[in-house]
Structure 1
Amino acid sequence: MAARVISDSDQDAFSMTLRDLFAESGVTGDELAEHMGMSRTALTDVLNGQVIPGDMAVREFADAMGLGKASTDELLQMKHRARSAVRVPRGRRHNPRRNFVPRFGQPDPIRASGPADLQEALRAVHVWAGAPSLRKLERASDGMLRRSTISDMLNGKDARLPEYDRYLTFLLVCGMDQASLDVWVYTWRRLLALEKSPEISSWMGGMSPASIR
Structure 2
Amino acid sequence: MAVMPEKNRKLALALRDLARASEYSLDTVAQGSGLTLSTVTDVFSGRVVPNRETLDRILQHLGAPKSQYALILSLHREARAELDSRRARRSEISFRSDIPLPQFGQPDPLTVATPAQFVEALRAVRIWAGSPSLRTLEARGRGRLSKSSIGAMLKADELPKYERFVAYLYACGIREKNLDVWVFTWRRLKALQGPESQWMPNLTSSTTSFG
Give the TM-score, by structure 2 length. 0.53
Shift of 1:204: 1.9
Q: Which sections of structure 2, spanning at least 5 residues, go unmatched? A: 6-83
**Which residue in the other structure is 2:101 paired with?**
101
Q: 1:180 to 1:152 in 2, by over 3 A?
A: same
Q: Which sections of structure 1, spanning at least 5 residues, go unmatched? A: 1-5, 10-47, 53-78, 88-96
Q: How does 1:9-24 map to 2 (within 5 A)?
A: none
> Secondary structure, in 3 states, of the residue corresponding to 1:161?
coil
Q: Deviations over 1:71-124 (max 9, x none)?
A: xxxxxxxx6x8733x38xxxxxxxxx6211111111011111111000100000
Give the TM-score, by structure 1 length. 0.53
The question of 1:204 aligning with 2:200 is answered yes
**Which residue in the other structure is 1:114 paired with?**
114
**Which residue in the other structure is 1:176 paired with?**
174
Identity of aligned residues (%): 42
Does the CA-based 8 Å contact 1:112-1:118 persist in structure 2?
yes
> 1:193, 1:182 → 2: CA distance?
16
Q: 1:82 to 1:155 in 2, by over 3 A?
A: closer
Q: Which has the higher contact order (CA 8 A, sep 6+)?
A: 1
**Which residue in the other structure is 2:14 paired with?**
none
**Which residue in the other structure is 1:153 paired with?**
153
Shift of 1:207: 2.1
Structure ranking higher in helix proportion: 2
**Which residue in the other structure is 2:162 paired with?**
164
Higher Rg of the two aligned structures: 2
> 1:107, 1:167 → 2: CA distance?
14
Does the CA-based 8 Å contact 1:50-1:141 persist in structure 2?
no
Q: What one-letter code is carried by the residue in structure 2 that aligns with 1:166? A: R
Q: 1:146 to 1:207 in 2, by over 3 A?
A: same
> 2:140, 2:118 → 1: CA distance?
22
> 1:127, 1:167 → 2: CA distance?
15
**Which residue in the other structure is 2:54 paired with?**
none
> 1:174, 1:155 → 2: CA distance?
17
Pairing partner for 1:193 from 188, 191, 194: 191
Shift of 1:203: 2.3
Q: What one-letter code is carried by the residue in structure 2 that aligns with 1:182? A: D
Shift of 1:211: 4.5
Shift of 1:51: 10
> 1:50, 1:110 → 2: CA distance?
36
Q: How does 1:57-72 map to 2 (within 5 A)?
A: none
Q: 1:127 to 1:206 in 2, by over 3 A?
A: farther
Shift of 1:130: 0.3
> 1:51, 1:196 → 2: CA distance?
41
> 2:145, 2:206 → 1: CA distance?
34
Q: What one-letter code is carried by the residue in structure 2 that aligns with 1:209? A: S
Q: 1:49 to 1:133 in 2, by over 3 A?
A: farther
Q: What one-letter code is carried by the residue in structure 1 that aligns with 2:92? A: R
Q: What one-letter code is carried by the residue in structure 2 that aligns with 1:180? A: N
Q: What one-letter code is carried by the residue in structure 2 that aligns with 1:173? A: A
**Which residue in the other structure is 2:140 paired with?**
140
Q: 1:201 to 1:173 in 2, by over 3 A?
A: same
